[in-house]
């Protein structure tokens, strides 16, 4: 397995720091159900705040589009609520029911409103899944180039806040893994609801301040 879960000894300090800056961060809406905002960008490591809610989930994303890899080694600290992390291990299988696509990563596609070119990748794949629930006060590490996704809680009222470190980021394409029977749903290329974004950021800030 590629997931490493540990207790965060600096949880209270990190939560307090994020609580102080969350209302100063500019967030973008990622269709997997998260707001992403940088507190440190273009330096190693980059650091983002993530706010998770089912109300942010783009229609169809849970079916085809939310399984992805990263260009960086990730460390994620759960500061409020809990998150699900499902590790997806793919293996080549001519009868497999999944296929891959390479994407233009968000930073490179920002100038085209996130409509960067995509490239279908060769092969068919089957998958093995391992799911973890990571509670508030814990962190997890996950390596670049491996697939995962973050299933969201069933309740629309549930919000989780994480702080993500991006280590050793490479300038390569990101990938998604999706069922061959469905067209992939793109995580960007939509117009976020500004009122919804403001409401969710405000709720997250209040949870961190509790």
Q: Which of 101, 81, 96, 86 is nearest to 174 (CA)?
A: 101
Does residue 39 lie within any of the structural domains?
A: yes
Q: Please tell me the chain's helix, strand, coil percentages from 3-state DSSP, rounded to the nearest 5.
A: 20, 45, 35
Contact 158, 81 (CB under 8 A): yes
pLDDT in tens, the chain (210 residues): 899 999 999 999 999 999 999 999 999 999 999 999 999 999 999 999 999 999 999 999 999 999 999 999 999 999 999 999 999 999 999 999 999 999 876 655 555 555 567 899 999 999 999 999 999 999 999 999 999 999 998 777 789 999 999 999 998 888 999 999 999 998 887 788 999 999 999 999 999 999
pLDDT at 164: 98
Beta strands in 41-158 (DSSP E): 46-57, 73-80, 82-92, 98-103, 118-135, 138-142, 147-149
Number of domains in the chain: 1
Q: What is the CATH number of the domain that holds 22?
A: 2.60.120.10
Give domain status of residue 205, yes or no. no
Cβ-proximal residues to 202 (8 Å cutoff; 6+ apart), any chain: none
In a domain, 202, yes or no: no
Q: Which tokens in the block code for residue 182?
A: 């469905």
Q: Which of 89, 135, 137, 99 is nearest to 119 (CA)?
A: 99
CB 163 within 8 A of CB 18: yes
User: 153: which 2 tokens?
Assistant: 């809680």
pTM for this one?
A: 0.93
pLDDT at position 87, please? 98
The range of the structural domain enclosing residue 43 comes to 4-196
């Amino acid at each position: 397995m590629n997931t490493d879960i540990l207790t965060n000894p600096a949880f209270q300090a990190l939560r307090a720091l994020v609580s102080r800056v969350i209302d100063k961060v500019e967030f973008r809406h990622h269709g997997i159900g998260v707001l992403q905002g940088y507190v440190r960008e273009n330096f190693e490591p980059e650091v983002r705040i993530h706010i998770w809610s089912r109300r942010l989930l783009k229609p169809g994303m849970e079916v085809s589009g939310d399984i992805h890899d990263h260009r960086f080694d990730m460390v994620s600290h759960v500061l409020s609520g809990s998150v699900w992390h499902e590790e997806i291990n793919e293996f080549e299988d001519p009868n497999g029911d999944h296929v891959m696509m390479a994407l233009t990563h968000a930073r490179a596609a920002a100038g085209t409103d996130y409509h960067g070119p995509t490239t279908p990748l060769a092969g068919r794949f089957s998958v093995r899944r391992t799911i973890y629930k990571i509670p508030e006060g814990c962190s997890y590490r996950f390596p670049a180039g491996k697939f995962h996704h973050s299933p969201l809680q069933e309740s629309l009222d549930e919000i989780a806040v994480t702080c993500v470190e991006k280590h050793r980021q490479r300038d390569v394409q990101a990938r998604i893994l999706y069922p061959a029977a469905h067209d992939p749903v793109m995580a960007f290329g939509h117009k976020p609801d500004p009122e919804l974004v403001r409401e969710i950021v405000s709720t997250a800030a209040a949870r961190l301040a509790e």
